[in-house]
Amino acid sequence: MEKLIITAAITGAEVTKEQNPNVPYTVEEIGIQAESAFKAGASVIHLHVRYDDGTPTQDKERFRDCITEIRKRCPEVIILPSTGGAVGMTAEERLQPIYLDPTPEIATLDCGTVNFGGNEIFVNTETMIMEFADKFKTLGIKPELEIFDVGMIDTVKRLHKKGYFSASLHFNLVLGVPGGIAATTENLVFLVNSLPKTSTFTVTAIGRYEFPMITQSIAMGGHARVGFEDNLYISKGILAKSNGELVKKVVSIAEKMGREIANPSDAQLILGLKM
């Protein structure tokens, strides 16, 4: 099997210090958490950013400051900015990080609308997906295709035939989000079997489903995402002290299963990123 790419989603847009005091908000805190994840074995940092009070933002300058801080601490790590942002943001707001200089190698591209519970709707119309895909292609950014249900894979396949996506597709299969596909073995197998055969994939699962679903992804030849964005606990009832602690747990699982851990150079090759 390929070496295992571990992505650390270090803060997200929703979790707070009230839930876990170690959730990073400030530029320095984000840098510290990214470094902890990298040193533990993550080769990719999935990056949302916050203002110092915890408010999520897609502000280009805030991204620049956080990326500069991360690069200072771990220059070789792959940084994967979010174009999902937070519920209620406009497409223009969400796209700000792709216009950074240097241009990101890879960024997230959400592939369908999801009911996030209550009145929250994460809107990604097909028109938006096509517009995002066109901008990614123009800038030479590889999309990580965010999948919350199987119909989104069908959307990607349809748009791929129309030329919106290149032949080398990388998916992030997200399980356990309210309104999305449930985190079960049957559903994960179904999603993986629905992917184009030459694709690569990462598995993300929310809360207590994180490590069981990641373990199954490792066994299936997929990759793994962990981090405070998805799960605040290292084990039942015990808050994680850092993103690095969550990454270390994945490394331990992978070692027991015989999967080597990818470094950033390995991950670039596996994902087909520009070198």
Q: Is residue 266 part of a domain?
A: yes
If the chain, 275 residues long, is cut into consecutive pieces of 10 residues, what is the mean pLDDT of each piece? 96 97 98 98 98 98 98 98 96 98 97 93 97 97 98 98 93 97 98 96 98 98 98 98 98 98 97 82
**What's the confidence (pLDDT) of residue 167?**
78
CATH of the domain at 173: 3.20.20.70
Q: Is residue 56 part of a domain?
A: yes
Of 96, 94, 101, 103, residue with least CA distance to 139: 103
Does the pTM exceed 0.95?
yes
Of 80, 149, 153, residue with least CA distance to 115: 149
Element containing residue 157 per DSSP (H, E): helix 150-161
Q: Is residue 1 part of a domain?
A: no
Q: Is residue 185 part of a domain?
A: yes
Contact between residue 164 and residue 130 where contact means Cβ atoms under 8 Å apart: yes
Q: Is residue 141 part of a domain?
A: yes
- Cis-peptide into 102, omega within 30 deg: yes
Place of tokens 């994180």: 210
Domain around 62? 6-271
**What's the confidence (pLDDT) of residue 118?**
87
Q: Is residue 34 part of a domain?
A: yes
Contact between residue 254 and residue 4 where contact means Cβ atoms under 8 Å apart: yes
What are the phi and psi torsion angles at 196 (to 5°)? Answer: -55, 140
Q: Is residue 262 part of a domain?
A: yes
Domain count, the chain: 1
Q: Is residue 231 part of a domain?
A: yes
Contact between residue 142 and residue 105 where contact means Cβ atoms under 8 Å apart: yes
